[in-house]
Structure 1
């Protein structure tokens, strides 16, 4: 059987235009003019309805969702100890104003936080060649005092102005107010504390590092170089300055230290360095410098802050800086003498310590003891 034509009866024959009056329909419109008037009225009502409802139909259309998702980054992992709540993600590509009511971009973006203790004048009176930024726990005054007595003591090293500052977050616990008052008194005495309003925890080290970068970018942009160095480190500051004075050391886009290549992401939940896949899905990190102490030209902090808007945060701070470098299209540089950046040692040797730049120590007292011995008269070797 052939297909029945549209408008045909059950016998498959085409109906004649003129049929009995029982089958004819009265015309809906008496003229094309009436039809056009009604059509214009319908269009007007539809446009008015759409404009009053803010184009809700367009907002629900899949193509719209795909387009706006490029402007609005996804919500990110937030650690339970994190103070700032995630709310509406900022929708522009410009720097947002600091707003106390919520997080802009994500929780590791440093301009979500506020400096509650600062020393803004330290880079105005002198232009430092090198700024040493030391992240330290608020209650670890022993580490700060040991550094003040040793490698953070001198403001002039090898003829260059060197500045040492300590970066702190907020301490928790019932004695928070008492601790805060002690910090204020300590800063009045030494003028070297910088404190921001994030919770000072191990899992917030990425936030702490990015706040350091923000301080360098906004408070001390004229410095030539900076170093992020942990508070449990021995730093041979003379050797570091001598290295940076070498003619071939870049003045821009320079990051150096102990380089880490092809490091796998730790997925074991029992590890201190555990990172879940939702925070960092790739199996290995980009090349980065070990967080114990890395040196960089001071043009990089502002670039790190800016590029961090588009980088999902995770809790391994030195690898996060490596990711910033990768997104910027840059790579860390091996130091002129890689053997100068060392991690752990088995014993103290005066000759060895006279040649290196960094070593990890076990206690503030070790730092004082080794430094005192290093400064004794006579050749080290």
Structure 2
């Protein structure tokens, strides 16, 4: 496999000094200019490598504030933490630590640049353990309200309409059957040419609503496992006092009354409990053309452990810390709900079927009000559909 850098080196060898020697008839100035240009290219490629290797020997002796430290920090501020698999030992290669929030635009520019330069590299193995990431937007004191239930919604940064629909429907219910409920949204880094503007809009939305969390992973479908583990980390570190939590996707209808009835039932465990739409004996997809493809290298077993479908599962709030700890031992793969199932299995917990499994539904088909009065959660087609159905379900009878 040849990387973009390999091609640049070959370009240097094939069109650098050799072409300079052939260009003598153009005069010495042309040759000197070309040599200077090639030297500049060489330094461009070698400087990060020199900094990287010298860092090991010098970082213990170079005092803070020196020219060396300043140069290293400047180099690092330009690189984003993109992970690539190592063919030798399948360990992740980090180009550099992720930058501080103030360098967000540089992060996105570099991420875009790297992704366009490495189209021949298959990215399979991302480190999902949340200690590898930090929060850009946070609400560390949110749980001082001692919520009984926390709803955590992973959502793409640009999906403002979905967030607003939730805020005006089930996410607006702060008290259900006398119990405090809180809803928070988690996003990753924005992408694209307008990423700086998008980030500013996110920050304004955060100031307005106080319900946005953002971490410094690239927000993509492939990174949903990272996103889920960051959710677990936030619950474990910022909100351990909650009784229950739920990971629920942004395109879901959620009947809060039915959910609370389930959680308050006397036979519902308060510890080591996770329930939802249970997936048993699900085969691992090995078709490389599928969005759900997982290689044998990442997950060698032919079937996943029992897990809960990622559209919405609820769990006792002692589990997030245990899942985060288990993730240190379980190699991450890109099917987030099955990965959580693997972590739960590692902890020694078996997912529970809900008392009425029909309350966790993938799709309900044609709209019938009585169906939505009965379920806990189901997938919808659009934010506007959520608003319309919510209004109808809540109308006086």
Residue pairs, 1:13-162, within 5 angstroms: 83-84=82-83, 107-124=127-144, 126-162=145-181
* 1:374 maps to 2:393: yes
Q: Whole-Å Cα distance in 2 between the matches of residues 239 and 343 of structure 1?
A: 16
Residues 1-381 of structure 1 aligned to structure 2 (within 5 Å): 83-84=82-83, 107-124=127-144, 126-378=145-397
Kindly state the Cα deviation for residue 195 of structure 1 after the two structures are TM-superposed: 0.2
Structure 1 residue runs of 4+, over 6 Å off? none
| 2: CA distance, partners of 1:337 / 1:281 | 33
| Offset, 1:171 | 1.3
Instruction: Report the alpha carbon displacement of residue 259 of structure 1 after superposing the two structures with TM.
Output: 0.2
Cα distance in structure 2, aligned partners of 1:200 and 1:288 = 23
* Residues 368 and 106 (structure 1), Cα distance of their counterparts in 2 relative to 1, 3 Å cut: closer
List per-residue Cα deviations over 1:129-167 (Å, max 9, x = no partner).
000000000000000000001000111111100000000
> Using the alignment, how far apart are the partners of 1:213 and 1:268 within structure 2?
30
Q: CA deviation at 1:299?
A: 0.4
1: distance between equivalents of 2:236 and 2:345? 20
In structure 1, the residue corresponding to 2:237 is in which secondary structure? helix
- Asked whether the 8 Å contact 2:98–2:216 carries over to 1, the reply is no
Q: In 1, are the aligned partners of 2:184 and 2:211 still within 8 Å (CA)?
A: yes
Using the TM superposition, give the Cα deviation of residue 224 of structure 1 relative to its aligned residue in structure 2, in angstroms.
0.2
Q: Secondary structure at the match of 2:192?
A: coil
CA distance in 2, matches of 1:132, 1:274: 29
Unaligned runs of 5+ in 2: 1-79, 90-96, 100-124
Whole-Å Cα distance in 1 between the matches of residues 396 and 329 of structure 2?
52
Write the distance in 2 (CA, Å) between the matches of 1:274 and 1:315.
8
Mark the structure with the bigger radius of gyration: 1
Partner Cα distance (1:289, 1:100) in 2: 32
Whether the aligned pair in 1 keeps the contact of 2:364 and 2:371 (CA below 8 Å) is no
CA contact (8 A) 2:81 2:98 kept: no
The superposition leaves residues 102-155 of structure 1 with CA deviations (integer Å, 9 ceiling, x where unpaired) of xxx96101110000101111101x101000000000000000000001000111
CA–CA distance in 2 between the matches of 1:256 and 1:377? 31
Residues 106, 309 of structure 1: 8 Å contact kept: no
With the length of structure 1 as denominator, give the TM-score of the two structures. Answer: 0.72
Aligned-residue Cα RMSD (Å) equals 1.8
* Residues in 2 aligned to 1:172 and 1:141: alpha-carbon distance in whole angstroms: 15
Larger fraction in helix: 2
Give the Cα separation in 2 of the matches to 1:309 and 1:337. 34
2:129/2:327 contact within 8 Å kept: yes
CA distance in 2, matches of 1:354, 1:117: 35
Contact 2:83/2:126 (<8 A) preserved: no
Alpha-carbon shift at residue 270 of structure 1 (Å):
1.6
User: Post-superposition shift, 1:294?
Assistant: 0.1
Q: 1:165 to 1:281 in 2, by over 3 A?
A: same
Please list the CA deviations of residues 245-289 of structure 1 after superposition, one character each: whole Å capped at 9, or x if unmatched. Answer: 000100110000000000000111121211111111110000000
- Secondary structure at the aligned position of 1:290 is classed as strand
What runs of 5+ residues in structure 1 fail to find an aligned partner?
Answer: 1-80, 90-98
* 1:84 Cα offset (Å): 4.8
Equivalent residue of 2:328, what SS?
Answer: helix
For 2:221 and 2:243, locate their aligned partners in 1 and report how far apart those are by CA, in whole Å.
29
Q: What's the TM-score, normalizing by structure 2?
A: 0.69
Deviation at 1:345, TM superposition (A): 2.0
Report the Cα distance in structure 1 between the residues aligned to 2:85 and 2:277, rounded to whole angstroms: 35
- Looking at structure 1, the residues matched to 366 and 206 of structure 2 have their Cα atoms a distance apart, in angstroms, of 34
Q: Is the 8 A contact 2:149 2:180 kept in 1?
A: yes
- Size of the aligned set, in residue pairs, is 284
Structure 1 residue 330 displacement after superposition = 1.0
